[in-house]
Chain A
Amino acid sequence: MDTKTRNKWDRASKTFDFMTGTGAVKRWEPVKRELFSHMDGKILFLAVGTGLDIPFFPPDKNILGIDISPKMLAIAERRVNNYQGNMEIDVMDVHDLAVDDNFFDQIYTSCTFCSVPSPVEGLKSLHRVLKPGGEIFMFEHTGSHYFPFNLMMNIMTPLSRQVGPDMNRKTVENVQKAGFTDIKVSNVYLDVVKTIRAKKN
C-alpha cells in the first residue's frame, strides 16, 4: 500500500466534498451520466472517493468501488447505502489489486489517473483484472497539446501535486502503453477534460 498517497487523500477527505461537491459535480453531471449509462456486468469503479459520482450510476448494477483512502470511503458509505443496486466498497491500491485476473466486465474511472503515482503500472493492473473483450470507461482531465495551456499546466503541476492531482498527465498515451486497444477519446472541455473508452483484446 502506498502510504504517502493514502495519507494525502485521507487529509484531502476533510475538504473534498466542500471543494468539489457543487461546481465540478454539477458541471460534469450530464457527461458522467452518459458515460455511466453503459454500465453492465461485473463492474470495478476505481477511486470512488467520497462517492460523489454514485448518484449518477444507473440502478440495479453490480459494482465494486475501491479507493486508497479509508477516510474517503467512510464518507462515501452513506451514498453507497443509498444506491439502488448491489454496490460494495473496499480499500485497495490500484498498483496492488487483490482481484483475480480477467474478473471484471467493465472498469470505470473518474478523475483518477491525474493522481495515481505510476499511471502506466496502474493501468496495466486494471488491464490484468479486466476480462478479454471487456471495456474501460474513463472520465479524466489531462495535460493539453495546445499552447499556452500546456505551458501553464506544466508550471502549475508541482504546486497542485502537493494537495491533489497532477494537471499535465498524458493519460491517453498511458492507456495505449498499458496495452488497451480500440481507444476512443471525446473531448469534453478543450483537450483537457475528456472521456476515454478502450478495450482489452
Chain B
Amino acid sequence: MEHRIYFIIGDILSVVCTGAAVSMVCLALTPSDWNMFLAMFAGMAIGMITALVISAAIFVRYFGAMEVMIPSMLTGMLTGMFISMAATMINPSYSASACFGVVIGLITLFSTYFLNKDITKTQLNIR
C-alpha cells in the first residue's frame, strides 16, 4: 500500500485524466449507428491504447511505471467499453462522459489499492 502523498496524488491524477480523456476519445470515435457489442470491443481496445499512450507520455516519468500503467489501462479499458456502448444507445454529452470516466478511474484506483493490500501480504516459498 502506497503511503507517500506525492505518489497517491500522482495515482489519482493519472486515473482521473486518463478516464476523462479516454471517454472523450471513445465518444468522438464511435459512430452512433454501430452495433452495441462491436462498439464495446472497439472501445475496449481504443481505451487501453489511449490509456497506455497517456500514461507512458505523461505520468510514468513522474509517478512510477506499473503502479501508474495498470490502473490507467484498466480505467481505459472499462471507460472505453461503457462509453462506446453508450454512444450507440443514448449518445451522452462530452461533459457527462468525462465525469463518468473520472468516476471509473477513481473506482479502479481504489479497487487496485484494496487488492494490492491483500496480495502484497503473501509471500510465496518454493522448495
Contact = CB atoms under 8 A, between A and B. Distances in A.
A24 B127 contact: no
A156 interface: yes
Nearest to B77: A152
Interface string A145-170: 01011001001100100000000000
B112 interface: yes
Contacts, number: 89
Interface in B39-53: 48-49, 52
B120 A148 contact: no
Contacts of A189: 66-67, 70, 116, 120
A27 B48 contact: no
A141 B62 contact: no
Interface residues of B, number: 32
Contacts of A26: 6, 64
Contact of A176 (B10, B48, B65, B126): B126
Contacts of A176: 126
A7 interface: no
Nearest to A27: B64
Contacts of B68: 23
A187 B64 CA distance: 16
Contacts of B60: 19-20, 23-24
Given A23-B62, A152-B73, A159-B52, A190 B127 contact: no
Interface in A168-195: 172, 176, 181-193
Interface residues of A, number: 32
A152 to B, nearest CB: 5
Contacts of B115: 146, 190
B123 interface: yes
Contact of A24 (B64, B70, B77): B64
A28 B115 CA distance: 19
Contacts of A27: 7, 63-65, 67
Contact of B65 (A141, A159, A181): A141
A3 interface: no
B120 A152 contact: no
B93 interface: no
B63 to A, nearest CB: 5
Contacts of A18: 61
B48 A193 contact: no
A22 interface: yes
Contact of A149 (B56, B70, B123, B124): B70
B74 interface: yes
Nearest to A18: B61
Interface of A: 18-20, 22-24, 26-28, 141, 146, 148-149, 152, 155-156, 159, 172, 176, 181-193
8 shortest interchain CB distances as A-B pairs:
A27-B64, A185-B124, A183-B126, A23-B64, A24-B65, A187-B120, A23-B63, A23-B62
